[in-house]
Amino acid sequence: MNKRNLVVLLSAGLLFSAVPWLTGCSVMNKIFVKTELPPPVSAGETQPADIPIPHLNFTHRPEKSIFLETVGVRTASIKYEGSAHLEDVVAFYETQMPLHKWQHQGTISADSLHKMAFTRKREKCEVTAENKGSDTYLTIKLNYLPMQ
């Protein structure tokens, strides 16, 4: 590299590095746009609006639940307790989830446990209903499906 090219290169580098001091931060902020992620929506009373909850004497347990949503990606583990017949819970989800555009992928059933799987676009929702004595526990898990 000859001296003339080296001088031109160094001058251009110095000029470019001096731009922030010469023009101020407002110009640089326009050049280099910062994209900040919105804060996640956190658990408590916040629940996914597109996952129905049966009105079968269930109480939301926010202290045992979490729901996070940011940039269109959601994850959740939401728990309810109550008293309901498992067959009623299964029938509710098999009819209500498709109304919210969820596709039923299948149900696994045992004596005191029913686990249903639903998908929609890039999300998977698992609904588990379990009887323990006279109590019924409902757990809704929501996850983003990995790319295949």
pLDDT digits (tens, 9 = 90+) for 37-62: 444 444 344 678 889 888 778 888 88
> Given this model, what pLDDT does residue 92 score?
92
The Cβ of residue 113 has, within 10 Å, a number of other Cβ atoms equal to 14
Continuous segment of H or E residues that includes residue 146: none
pLDDT digits (tens, 9 = 90+) for 96-123: 999 999 999 999 998 899 999 999 989 9
34, 26 contact by CB (below 8 A): no
> Given this model, what pLDDT does residue 146 score?
72
Q: Is the pLDDT of residue 79 over 90?
A: yes
Cα separation of 84 and 81, whole Å? Answer: 9
